[in-house]
Amino acid sequence: MKNKFIAERHLNYVNKGAAMAKSDVVAASMSDCINLSIGNPDFDTDQRVIDAAFADAGNGCTGYTNFQGDPELRAEIAKMYKEEYDMDVKDGQILITPSGCGSLYMIMAMICEPGDEIIVQAPYFSSYCLQIELNGGKIVELPTYEEDDFQVKPERLEALITDRTKAILINSPSNPTGNCLSVETMKEIAAIAVKHDLLVIADDIYTAYSYQDKFVPFASLPGMMERTITINSASKDYIMCGWRVGNVILPEDMMEVALRINQGMIFCAPSVSQRALIHAIRMRHEVQPAVVEEFKKRLTYGAERVNAIKNMHTVFPPKGTFYLWINIKDTGMTSNEVSEYILEHAHVLLLPGNNFGDCGEGFLRASLTVPVEKIKEAFDRIEKLDIFK
């Protein structure tokens, strides 16, 4: 029944990420289901980080922090950017937030007037729709294609710009494709942003998982710091999904409004989570390499298995993240049909590519957040199916 107290925009909203939203329920309904759907790493946060964070909690770090975030954490983020990328990030540019998703929702609340258009590199993380559209914006899909190495083509981007365009949203390494934008591509995007006076929002969630080249922040390009908002999260880079903490780096003249919205949403990010992130950043060279290497091993193995199965293939060697973006167009079936067929007959849960935008049709996303033994079992089951023979 329609509830008169709920805003119409919510009652009539179609959730384009519905497959992701219900994936855990589907997986739980099958006792032998191998769940390759959600990007929730199967590792625990490093014990050293946990111990240090809870020692801080035991010493009284359990109340509200400064609304902009723990000053010690902000200093650690600025130090990390200097050490890793030789970037000078000012304290007045750093805002600690409750996760990357919280950051993006806050940013869209800050920049979107009703009807404003946000051009989004596609295929894209499906929650972008919620973050943009529930704040009055309109998502404009900027398709990227396998034959172009999933790079943004400047002529395709420029053709989408209208007088309502507010920003360009990019994600590299990319969820779901695992692709990384080249520096040359980013420079072309930067030139277009300057030409049309647009904001760039860089979703930098998977920076640790850039396997072929060292990650380059978009904001580090000449002249881009003043027109880029960078979204960071502890979830993937530090295996801290459940801690719900991240940060944004934005132009200083946007901080007052961003801080106001963040206060209205949550006051401040959880204090213990902020302490954990301080220690994770300080220990990054100890805690990240083994996890990154394990995911790279899984991706390499998974890609080899996929490419050996008839009617499917993926990019090789893997470039980034821990996702396989699997082309299943040769089956002659839709993404939904293939994912449902695999689930029904092999009890392996993958997400249909159209969950990530229109140009994702003909693909599946596999999140390799299970051990190699489970990945092997999953593709052993899949390769026996009639559509792959």
Residue 174 Rama label (left phi>0; alpha psi -120 to 50; beta): beta
pLDDT of residue 116: 97
Does 91 reside within a domain? yes
What distance in Å separates the CA atoms of residue 153 and residue 53, rounded to the nearest whole number?
44
What is the per-residue pLDDT for 6? 86
Domain boundary among 269, 284, 299: 284
Are 244 and 123 part of one and the same domain? Answer: yes
User: What band does 19 get if pLDDT is binned at 50, 70 and 90?
Assistant: low
Over residues 200-226, the pLDDT tens digits come to: 999 999 999 999 999 999 999 999 999
Percent of the chain with pLDDT over 70: 96
Residue 277 lies inside a defined structural domain of this protein: yes
Confidence check: pLDDT of 21 > 80: no
Query: Is 2 inside any structural domain?
Result: no
CATH number of 201's domain: 3.40.640.10
* Residue 64 lies inside a defined structural domain of this protein: yes
Q: For residue 83, what are the CA distances in angstroms to 88, 129, 215, 231, 353?
A: 10, 34, 13, 19, 37
Residue 3 lies in a domain: no
Same domain, yes or no: 37 and 55? no
Asked if residue 83 belongs to a domain, the reply is yes
* pLDDT at residue 1 in the model: 53
Determine, yes or no, domain membership for 1: no
Is 152 in the same domain as 33?
Answer: no
Task: Copy the structure tokens of residue 231.
Answer: 């979204």
Asked whether the predicted pLDDT for residue 33 surpasses 80, the reply is yes
Kindly state the average pLDDT of the residues 17-27.
Answer: 63
On whether both 193 and 123 belong to a single domain, the answer is yes
Domain count for the chain: 2
- Predicted confidence (pLDDT) per residue in 306-363, tens digit: 999 999 999 889 999 999 999 999 999 999 999 999 999 999 999 999 999 999 999 9
Residues 209 and 229 in one domain: yes
Are residue 29 and residue 108 in the same domain, yes or no? no
Alpha helices in the chain (DSSP H): 8-11, 18-21, 23-28, 47-58, 71-85, 99-111, 127-133, 154-159, 183-195, 234-237, 255-266, 271-282, 284-307, 335-346, 372-383
Query: Mapping DSSP to helix (H, G, I), strand (E, B) and coil, where does residue 314 land?
Result: coil
Domain holding 297: CATH number?
A: 3.90.1150.10
Task: Check whether residue 252 and residue 307 sit in a common domain.
Answer: no
- Residue 254 and residue 121 share a domain: yes
Looking at 260, 284, 308, which one is the last position of a domain?
Answer: 284
Residues 64 and 39 in one domain: no
* Positive or negative: CA dihedral 43, 339, 317, 86: negative
b/e map of 163-175 (b: 16 or more CB within 10 Å)? eebbbbbbbbbbb
Domain extent, residue 22, equals 8-45+286-388
Computed over every residue of the chain, the mean pLDDT equals 95
Per cent of the chain over pLDDT 90 is: 90
Does the residue 230 lie in any domain?
Answer: yes
Residue where a domain stops, chosen among 284, 318, 334: 284
**What is the average pLDDT across 227-247?**
97
Q: Is the pLDDT of residue 385 over 60?
A: yes
Instruction: Let me know whether 90 and 193 are in one domain.
Output: yes
Residues 66 and 15 in one domain: no
Report which of residues 29 and 144 the model is more confident about: 144
Residues in Cβ contact with 27 at an 8 Å cutoff, skipping those fewer than 6 apart: 33, 35, 37, 349
- Asked if 21 and 62 sit in the same domain, the reply is no
